Structure 1
Amino acid sequence: MNTTNLRDLYQQVILEHYKKPKHRGKTNPIDRYQKGHNPSCGDTIELTLQLDPSGERIVDVQFEGEGCAIAMASVDLMAGALAGKSVDEALELVKIFQGMMKGETEFPQAQRKLNVMKGVAQFPVRIKCANLGWHTLKAALQLTGEAKLADFVTNETE
């Protein structure tokens, strides 16, 4: 597949996840909750996570929010990739995604769907949009104790 066709396919996947997200809503129960905001363009999300009884494995991830196609597609793709992952595995996926946005890496075969976001790295102003959900996920996973209303985290310093 040539580069133009691949880019078109990636754009189509991003638009589909934006228009028809599969993980919009709130988990039940909510074991972790975190709000994220990208002040550069106004994207906001509220991320909820359901963990298994041990608190070590992700059962479900859902989100609510408003934002551009890249931000919403990225968080939807992220949510779909996390079910069944341990907290440590999820944090490792955050590192891989952030590395991919710097052009340093990409996801292995098992998570190759997430590589559709790779093209965003060519547009530095949009990287914060793609990273918002991942940045918010990291903050949510680092919370301890009961789910609580947390302050907005921002990715403005990235």
Structure 2
Amino acid sequence: MTVNDSQRHISQQVILEHAQKPRHRGTTNLIHLSSEKNNPSCGDSVQLTVQFNATGDTITDIKFQGKGCAVSIASADLMAELLIGKTIAEALLIIQDFFNLIQGNYQFNFPLQKLNVFSTLAQFPIRMKCALLSWSTLESALKSYNLR
């Protein structure tokens, strides 16, 4: 097994783990923000709910519901896991970095390096949309929320 094959295998394992047992599926206790999108080309759909702290500038919880492939579900679950505790500004920067990662132009460092499992998707353009669905949904929602 080459290093590339080994990395691909680890990425597949992380994606399968989060797809089969998502930790952030459901609805937040308080819903300060909700948004949904679907990918008509494959049928994936996601509904996000977000809860903020008392001042409304820090994400205290993100939950998702929907249907989709393993990449779509794992991406939503990891997004929720890693953006909880971030300010809206921090989350928007991480979202942009994730878009760059998917295009093969970025690598995350600690503590966000888990997201690098999606870096191989640049080789599979159809799968890129699957990984980006929840992230683009959250980005649109946060930008709208920030403008109010």
With normalisation by structure 2, the TM-score equals: 0.94
Which residue of the partner structure matches residue 115 of structure 1? 116
Task: Tell me the matched-pair count.
Answer: 145
Which residue of the partner structure matches residue 13 of structure 1? 14
Distance apart, 1:144 and its partner CA? 3.2
Which residue of the partner structure matches residue 91 of structure 1? 92
Q: Is 1:105 aligned to 2:106, yes or no?
A: yes
Deviations for 1:66-100, whole angstroms, at most 9, x for unmatched residues? 00111110010000001110000000011000001
Distance apart, 1:106 and its partner CA? 1.6
Deviations for 1:41-70, whole angstroms, at most 9, x for unmatched residues? 010010000000111000000000000111
The percentage of aligned residue pairs carrying the same residue is 46
Find the aligned partners of 1:24 and 1:144 in 2 and give their Cα distance. Answer: 22
Are the aligned partners of 1:32 and 1:143 in contact in 2 as well (CA < 8 Å)?
Answer: no
Map 1:5-84 → 2, pairs under 5 A: 5-84=6-85
Structure 2 runs not aligned, ≥5 long: none
1:95 is paired with a residue whose SS is: helix
Find the aligned partners of 2:121 and 2:24 in 1 and give their Cα distance. Answer: 21
1:103 is paired with a residue whose SS is: coil
User: Structure 1 or 2: larger helix share?
Assistant: 2
Map 1:138-149 → 2, pairs under 5 A: 138-144=139-145
Find the aligned partners of 1:70 and 1:45 in 2 and give their Cα distance. Answer: 12
Query: Runs of 4+ in structure 1 displaced over 2 angstroms?
Result: none
Bigger CA drift: 135-144 or 41-50?
135-144
Find the aligned partners of 1:94 and 1:144 in 2 and give their Cα distance. Answer: 15
With normalisation by structure 1, the TM-score equals: 0.88
Question: Residue type matched to 2:86 in 1?
Answer: K
Structure of higher RCO (CA pairs closer than 8 Å, 6+ residues apart): 1
1:144 is paired with a residue whose SS is: helix
